[in-house]
Amino acid sequence: MLWTAFALMTAAAVFAVLWPLAHKPPAARGGSDRLVYQDQLREIDRDRAAGLIGESEANTARIEISRRLIAAADAETKAQVAPVAAQPLRRHRIGAIVAVVAVPAVALGFYFRLGSPDVAGQSAFARGNAQQAHQSIAALVSQVEAHLARDPTDGAGWEVLAPIYLHMGRFDDAVEARRKAIALLGDSAARESNLGEALVGAANEIVTAEAKAAFQKAVTEDPHDAQARYFLGLADEQDGNVTAAAAKWRALLDEAPPGAPWVEFVRTALARVSGAQAATTAPAARAPGAPPAVAGPTASDVAAADAMSDDQRSTMIRGMVQRLADRLHADGSDVEGWLRLVRAYVVLGDRDQAKNAAADARRALSDHPDEVKRIDDLVKGLGLAG
């Protein structure tokens, strides 16, 4: 029945287009009328000369016959133009016929080749998602924000928006979205861990007390939460307790499932606190699963670092920190280097040196207020202000 209805609708549409084109315009009258009216004018002149009609009657007759003569002449002219105009008319008819016949035929051919009446159509939701896939992230964020402005109680919307904010570097917005998702959807280990991650991003990669509390709560609810366990190790490192950080990360690696994408990332962090890598490597705020900035050390590298005594490890680390400091004092344009140097001094427990490095960084970066703000944010997050 459906195909029959479609066929009837198509036939009706074709008929509606072709019907007006199938009628020929009325034929123009021939040119013989003009000769008749010319003879009538001559006859009036003869009758007037013979005195059969008066002058006023002759003038009235001439006027009427002249009007008819002009009309006949116009008709004759149009009749001569008609064959020329008929050619475009025929082309229009042919074009219309081709359109109404060829277009459905081509469409049907494509359908039989690419389509199938047995495949279910997409839902409106799926079509909407397919269209959104081609839109920019900013446009999608604007749409979700507009939706949440109308319905701020949509916890799922906040949970979807939070990681996008994080990806865009809008950390404060990500924190707010994570908090609203927890308030509306309830607490869980994953949500607490994600809130902590957003708090770390907002604090310029520093595990603040609030973030640490969120990670501890996540681990309490789920002892296998890899992201929370990694950040708790990072908190120990930033507090200067590299031994506790290494212990947490070794345990995390020992329990890692096969093929876990964050293994190399954690190995890199473990090597950093063990002394196998430069101590000045920035504590990354990315969650386990993000690709490491550098390749992770081998097992033999970690074992060699573990074999060092505490004094040897400390001497090696301080030597690396000093080399970084010397480089930055020679060329102070590397804001990332200054951030690493300040963190490294904090990890070593030398807070005065960290404050001095921050002051040197402000002077070196004085022409770049955005970069100076990053230094100030780090100092505030580390509790070095004042």
Mean pLDDT over 257-283 rounds to 70
Is the pLDDT higher at 331 or at 223? Answer: 223
Q: What average pLDDT does the segment 210-224 reach?
A: 93
Query: What is the separation of C-alpha 205 from the centre of its chain, rounded to a whole number of angstroms?
Result: 26
Q: Which residue did the predictor score with more confidence, 141 or 270?
A: 270
Beta partners for 290?
288
Instruction: State the pLDDT at residue 177.
Output: 92
Radius of gyration of the chain (CA): 44
Q: Which amino acid is at 142?
A: S
SS3 33: helix
The more confident residue out of 94 and 143 is 143
Q: How many residues does the chain have?
A: 386
25-34, pLDDT tens digit by residue?
Answer: 555 454 566 6
- The predicted model gives 44-51 an average pLDDT of 74
Least confident window among 144-153, 312-321, 338-347: 312-321
| Mean predicted confidence (pLDDT) in 287-314 | 46
pLDDT for residue 282: 41
Kindly tell me if the per-residue pLDDT of 125 is higher than 80. no
Q: With 80 as the cut, is the pLDDT of residue 64 above it?
A: no
- Residue 113 has what pLDDT? 56
Name the class of domain 313-381. Answer: mainly alpha
State yes or no: pLDDT of 258 exceeds 80.
yes
* Cβ atoms within 10 Å, residue 177: 26
Q: Quick check: 365 pLDDT over 60?
A: yes
φ and ψ at residue 29, rounded to 5 degrees: -70, 150
Are 128 and 144 in contact, with CB atoms under 8 Å apart? no
Question: Pick from 26, 131, 137: which is nearest to 82 by CA?
Answer: 26
At residue 199, the pLDDT reads 92
pLDDT exceeds cutoff 50 at 325: yes
Residue 384: the pLDDT is 82
Banded model confidence at residue 102, pLDDT cuts 50, 70, 90: low
Residue 181 gets which letter from DSSP? H
Domains of the chain, by residue range, sit at 29-103, 313-381
Q: Does the pLDDT value for residue 312 go beyond 70?
A: no
Work out the mean pLDDT of the chain and round it to a whole number.
74
Whether the pLDDT of residue 160 is over 60: the answer is yes
Q: How many CA atoms lie within 13 A of 250 on its CB side?
A: 13
User: What distance in Å separates the CA atoms of residue 273 and residue 242, rounded to the nearest whole number?
Assistant: 6
Q: Which residue has the higher pLDDT, 193 or 54?
A: 193
Average pLDDT rounded to a whole number, residues 203-210: 84
Residue range 113-142: average pLDDT?
55
* 8-state DSSP, 290: B
Q: How far is residue 309's CA from residue 178's CA, in Å, rounded to a whole number?
A: 43
Q: How confident is the model at residue 298 (pLDDT cuts 50, 70, 90)?
A: very low
Beta bridge partners of 126: none
pLDDT at 265 over 70: yes
- Look at residue 335 in the predicted model and tell me its pLDDT: 85
State the Cα–Cα distance between residues 383 and 53, nearest whole angstrom: 127
How many Cα atoms sit within 13 Å of 134 on the Cβ side? 4
**DSSP state string for 322-377:** HHHHHHHHH-TT-HHHHHHHHHHHHHTT-HHHHHHHHHHHHHHTTT-HHHHHHHHH
User: Is residue 121 predicted with pLDDT exceeding 90?
Assistant: no
Closest by CA position to 171, among listed 379, 374, 383, 326: 374
- The conformation of residue 288, written as its DSSP 8-state character, comes to B
* Residue predicted with more confidence, 93 or 154: 154
Per-residue pLDDT at 331: 83
The predicted pLDDT at position 300 comes to 42
Query: Rounded to whole angstroms, what are the CA distances from 195 to 29, 201, 206?
Result: 90, 10, 14
For 111, other C-beta atoms within 10 Å of its C-beta total 11
pTM: 0.43
